[in-house]
Amino acid sequence: MRIRNNSVFPALSVEGPIGVSMLLLGAYLFWEPSYGRKPDPSAKRPKGKTGISSDVGAAAMASLRPNLVPRRGLRIYRAFGVVGALIGLVVGTEFVVPLLDSTGGSSSSEPFSPEVLKGFCVAMGFFLGYTLPKVAENYIVVGGPPLTIVLGYEYLVYERGIDLQEVLSGVPVISELSHPALSSTLLVSTTFLTLTFRMYLRQVVPIFMSGLLSGGLIGNGAKILHSMSLPESPMEIEVIFSSILALCSIVMQIYAKFYRRGRNNKKERTQAREKRMSQGKKTGDVVILRCPSCSEEAPHKVVNRKEGAKGFEVLVNCRGLNQFDEVCNFHHTVIEVTRQ
């Protein structure tokens, strides 16, 4: 028997756990920590016991693993995997095991015992849930923009009565095209642009997916907890608050992924370069200097370095190419200045 919200035991209602679960899952998807984390160079996989290097092992795994399995463990993949595992547990408990009991094959001594079937359903649910965002990401990246352009064109022409040929009548070529030809042209051009920029789309689509899901889950989960009732119609779904949260999540993740990490990497490279320059050049190092012989900014190899009256005198050998594509091989001395 279901206990309603106005009973003396409101904690036993189903709305509370659903709202709390939506809030927790939305908060988990709100931020992706790997976007702002500096990659660890020491996290490379060591060599295996068979002597095969990590590069060969990574290439073998890349060839054996299907493309639909994500190679990066983003939170959206793990969240869908957990939800899929829970659904698999429910399916195995409520449908698969009773079906096995009805057929008379539920003996614990057999390999297909109820526990084995539940574990198999959980594993399959986790796998399907883990790969579902990747499959959706592939469909969105490849087919999303072309379908949006074509359906939007059809909607404007047949639903709103807006003829793009009349709007673009100033262009001589477009005015001579028919509606199917113009639609096909838009489809082909959009598909070409999508395939050209698919590398950037694959970086942005997971951010938009996790941001939209996070905003929708947090906004509607909070509304369910506040009203202690599930929405009975699309008009009761919280849209404004969810949109604001989704926009905040998307903006923060884009900033962390494309701007903050790049700024930190640039700062670290600058500090490393200044540190190398402050430590002085050693014999065999290569520096970029202007050669007095070929008058070009060319790489120079440090031949000798000694301390003089004006500082460290460095003998360098120009390894640049002259106008005859020959190595300059000119030796000259420069004074090394140490930055404070």
Same domain (yes/no): 208, 328 = no
Residue 47 domain-assigned (yes or no)? no
Same domain (yes/no): 100, 144 = yes
**Which of 249, 274, 299 delimits the end of a domain?**
274
Same domain (yes/no): 203, 112 = yes
Task: Identify whether the C-beta of residue 329 lies closer than 8 Å to the C-beta of residue 318.
Answer: yes
- Residue 178 Cα distances to 159, 239, 318, angstroms: 18, 39, 65
DSSP β-ladder status, 331-336 and 297-307: unpaired
Same domain (yes/no): 209, 310 = no
- Domain range for 58: 12-35+53-274
Residue 258 domain-assigned (yes or no)? yes
Q: Which amino acid is at 330?
A: F
Same domain (yes/no): 192, 265 = yes
Q: Which amino acid is at 230?
A: L
Same domain (yes/no): 72, 216 = yes
- Given the structure tokens 């500082």, which residue do they identify? 311
Residue 4 domain-assigned (yes or no)? no
Phi/psi at 321 (5° precision): -100, 135
pLDDT tens for each residue of the chain, 340 residues long: 444 444 444 444 788 888 899 999 999 999 888 876 655 544 444 444 444 455 555 555 544 455 555 555 578 888 998 999 999 999 988 888 888 777 765 454 455 678 888 899 999 999 999 888 888 888 888 777 778 877 887 788 788 877 666 666 555 555 556 667 766 777 777 777 777 777 778 888 889 989 999 999 999 999 999 888 888 888 888 899 999 999 999 999 988 888 877 777 777 767 766 665 555 566 677 888 888 888 888 888 888 878 777 777 888 999 887 666 678 888 888 887 655 4
Same domain (yes/no): 217, 320 = no
Q: Which amino acid is at 239?
A: V
From the list 275, 218, 224, 280, the residue with the least C-alpha distance to 247 is 218
Same domain (yes/no): 213, 299 = no
Same domain (yes/no): 290, 269 = no
Task: Identify whether the C-beta of residue 291 lies closer than 8 Å to the C-beta of residue 328.
Answer: yes
How many domains does the chain divide into?
A: 2
Same domain (yes/no): 139, 89 = yes
